[in-house]
Chain A
Amino acid sequence: MNQLIKVENLQYIYNENMANEFVALHDINLTIHEGEFVAIIGTNGSGKSTLAKHFNALLLPTGGSCKIDGIETNSIDKLWAIRQKVGMVFQNPDNQIVATLVEEDIAFGPENLGVPSDEIKTRVDQALKAVGMEEYRKHAPHLLSGGQKQRVAIAGALAMQTKCLVLDEPTAMLDPQGRLEVLETVKNLHKELGITIVYITHFMEEAVEADRVVVMKNGSVLDQGTPRAIFTQVKKLKELGLDVPLAAQVAYQLRNAGIKLPADIITDEELAVALCQSF
């Protein structure tokens, strides 16, 4: 499979050669394939956002390399090609909306690229449909709910025909309903349109939905694997200051109390089934 993002020995230092120099990333090696859904978890300050900002050249490596679809991010003349391939969605929806109507906001990116207007219309229609916001095209974005705003932001990236979406804690400020909307939208884009997803989150029940979970600590990749492989290491994750899904936590404590349960439980459903079989 095509290696969409390839990071080799990546290092990033804030304020290099200054008194307040700070190494945010050291020696990261990570490959993300086209069509993958990768979740990145780690404590605050572990380097998740710094790493994500390398994926569309908002930050350039101070050491090592970051390639997007084979292009080095520090080739300045390829900057726009890179940003079209990788779209970013941030935590605060209010910081990324520029226009006064939903459809204009989504059209902003392609308009700036000089895409012909018929083509823009098609792209906006498709993007709105993909995030389930067709009815809101004439609405003012600032009057939408948080979840809807995030879906507009995602649609904006889709209108750029992006191959990959990098979402940096897109649900942190949302209520349960909004979180569900955004997660469902992302899952759908991954499944239906084959868009590569890089999803940074502190909600472990969201990370469970990914194909692969990457665990970061102090600017390095500490571990990676399937959600099941990662989240069954309850003790290790807790020591790292991270959570596991509730069912994994409860199963772990039940096993410690001597109840015989399989070691790989991570969902409520699995726990219910296992407990039913144990009596």
Chain B
Amino acid sequence: MSIILKNATYTYMANTPFERTAIKDINLEIGEGEFVAIIGHTGSGKSTLVQHLNGLLKPNQGMVMVNGVDLHQKGEAAKMAKRSVGMVFQYPEHQLFEETVYADIAFGPRNLGVPEEEVDKRVRRAMEFVHLDFAVYQDRSPFQLSGGQMRRVAIAGVVALQPQYLILDEPAAGLDPCGRDDIFTKLIELHKKTETTIILVSHNMDDVAKMANRLIVMHEGQISLDGSPKEIFKHTEKLKAAGVDVPQVTALLSRLKVAGLDIDEHILTVDDAVKSIIASLRRKKSC
């Protein structure tokens, strides 16, 4: 079970003066149960890439397979394959439309013909997932919530579909630090508990470095780096070329190293950084 892209190329507005190739000859396999982050600066092709993963865009060349099924063939199999991939877009709050939070989250599962009792369960679970109190918010209009709360309702709507692969395009943009940590903690939990494959698109290195077990760096429509976070952050030059920042922790540690501290700058969490600084100070004192 996996999502496979074979030689996928996509060109916007082909055969016009505005023609632009957004992704070029991409070969990629994302296996079941992975937690993948796709990073790259604006225009690097990350959003175009992920829109291929659930058949929203059809590659001009090459193919997309989900669980062994070509997404762009006709018939029931391709339809089911597309359904196994859930997508939370950028600004998902723009897709809210129902009168109440409950109805909005229930819309997807109802459309799939899920029985009402099960719909109710899923709505409750999804709201718990995004930390929205069911009693308080179920009857509120989604349009009178704060930006961050609307975002959560929108994410809950996709989570309620219980996709096998869950793609999120910049899910934390505009959320407060607590909301950001919250969504990410929940994603990690969802990944562990249900073995949902998570594919996260982001330009925030700090967020993804801690969570993902695989990072894919996009640059000019191609994959420039693909590997574990620790592996990737060693390629400072390539990251720079791709316009991606190293995590703030890494930047701080590099600065401290320049200042004369003997530390490993390839550390990804604040706690590890603190430990490393203390160890380095002790070494200094003992010699």
Contacts and interface: CB of A to CB of B under 8 A. Distances in A.
B158 to A, nearest CB: 19
Interface stretch (B54-62, B72-80, B103-111, B169-177): B169-177
B259 A276 contact: yes
A207 B259 CA distance: 26
A14 B146 CA distance: 12
B270 A44 contact: no
B243 A49 contact: no
Nearest to A273: B259
B90 interface: yes
A172 B204 CA distance: 11
Interface stretch (A60-68, A77-85, A154-162, A249-257): A249-257
Contact of B203 (A175, A273, A275): A175
B285 interface: yes
Contacts of A147: 42
A174 interface: yes
A272 B256 contact: yes
A124 B147 CA distance: 32
A176 interface: yes
A195 to B, nearest CB: 24
> On chain B, which size bracket covers the interface?
35 or more
A262 interface: no
Interface in A103-141: none
Contacts, number: 116
B261 interface: yes
A91 interface: yes
A266 to B, nearest CB: 12
A49 B256 CA distance: 37
A44 B176 contact: yes
Contact of A247 (B41, B174, B252, B281): B252
A252 to B, nearest CB: 9
Contacts of A14: 144
A272 B259 contact: yes
Interface stretch (B190-198, B227-235, B272-280): B272-280
B243 A43 contact: no
A146 B43 CA distance: 10
Nearest to B178: A241
Nearest to B281: A279
B260 A45 contact: no
A202 interface: yes
A157 to B, nearest CB: 21
A250 B270 contact: yes
A16 to B, nearest CB: 12
Contacts of B285: 279
B252 A250 contact: yes
Contacts of A204: 177
B257 to A, nearest CB: 9
Nearest to B258: A272
A175 B178 CA distance: 20
B177 A242 contact: yes
B149 interface: yes
A242 B261 contact: no
Contact of B260 (A178, A247, A254, A276): A276
A15 B270 contact: no
A2 interface: no
A172 B170 CA distance: 10
Given A14-B144, A45-B148, A257 B252 contact: no
B281 A278 contact: yes
Contact of A175 (B140, B144, B243, B255): B243
Contacts of B180: 202
A275 B147 contact: no
Nearest to A92: B91
B215 to A, nearest CB: 15
Contacts of B245: 176
B260 A177 contact: no
Nearest to A178: B42
A246 B255 contact: no
B225 interface: no
A202 B248 contact: no
A169 interface: yes
17 contacts: A15-B144, A43-B178, A44-B179, A45-B148, A92-B91, A146-B42, A172-B173, A175-B243, A241-B177, A241-B178, A241-B179, A243-B177, A246-B252, A254-B274, A259-B281, A271-B256, A272-B255
Interface of B: 41-43, 90-91, 140-141, 144-149, 170, 173-180, 203, 243-245, 248-249, 251-252, 255-256, 258-261, 270-271, 273-274, 277-278, 281, 284-285
User: When A and B form their complex, which 6 residue pairs have the shortest distance between CB atoms, in order from nearest?
Assistant: A44-B148, A241-B178, A243-B177, A45-B146, A175-B203, A272-B259
Given A177-B41, A257-B274, 14 more contacts: A20-B140, A43-B178, A43-B179, A92-B91, A145-B42, A145-B43, A172-B174, A175-B203, A177-B243, A202-B175, A202-B180, A204-B177, A275-B259, A279-B281
